[in-house]
Chain A
Amino acid sequence: GAVVSQHPSWVICKSGTSVKIECRSLDFQATTMFWYRQFPKQSLMLMATSNEGSKATYEQGVEKDKFLINHASLTLSTLTVTSAHPEDSSFYICSARGGSPRETQYFGPGTRLLVL
């Protein structure tokens, strides 16, 4: 299957700082990338969908100014959590999909964010 990487896998930061998470598709071109958040023992929550070269589409209730998404190339998308607060602590997972909308989404390993 396709390989998607995420970096960093763990990050601990102070409240008020910004954190950038990278998502890369290693062996395919990801036309579309997705960012999810998952709180402990809860289901995946889609935050936003990004297509290469265009602005991300955010789900209802997700602040676009707080969660900045950039999908500048077919293999890289970044999520920046600006002015992070303790309630932003969560498991952030990206997924990537190739050119066809029906293609499978492949997930990165996730990034655990802890904001102190």
Chain B
Amino acid sequence: GQNIDQPTEMTATEGAIVQINCTYQTSGFNGLFWYQQHAGEAPTFLSYNVLDGLEEKGRFSSFLSRSKGYSYLLLKELQMKDSASYLCAAMDSNYQLIWGAGTKLIIKP
């Protein structure tokens, strides 16, 4: 079956760095997406990885290892506004997104 695993909740301190991990099992693979979802709002796109390696975009970076079925989202210089749920989604061979349940990130001052 197809499956996405990510931690349910994480806590970090303002100004620190946090890494949110995601492992996936899909029928075929066409890339890995990360979305941010603030409470009560729709998801917003953060990143897309289809090749192995690290993609950096400002304070946020995303890493992919296809051989390990593993990705992480790295958030640096955490700000209070980064408190949100972070959704990992893998695209399978049918170009269907398989969604994780999301990781709720709590930022403390």
Contact = CB atoms under 8 A, between A and B. Distances in A.
A binds B: yes
Interface of A: 1, 42-44, 46, 49, 93, 101-102, 104-110
Given A43-B99, A43-B100, A43-B101, A101 B45 contact: no
B45 A44 contact: no
A43 B101 CA distance: 5
Interface in B95-109: 95-97, 99-102
A104 B87 CA distance: 14
A49 B45 CA distance: 19
B95 A101 contact: yes
Contacts of B60: none
Interface stretch (B12-20, B36-44, B61-69, B70-78): B36-44
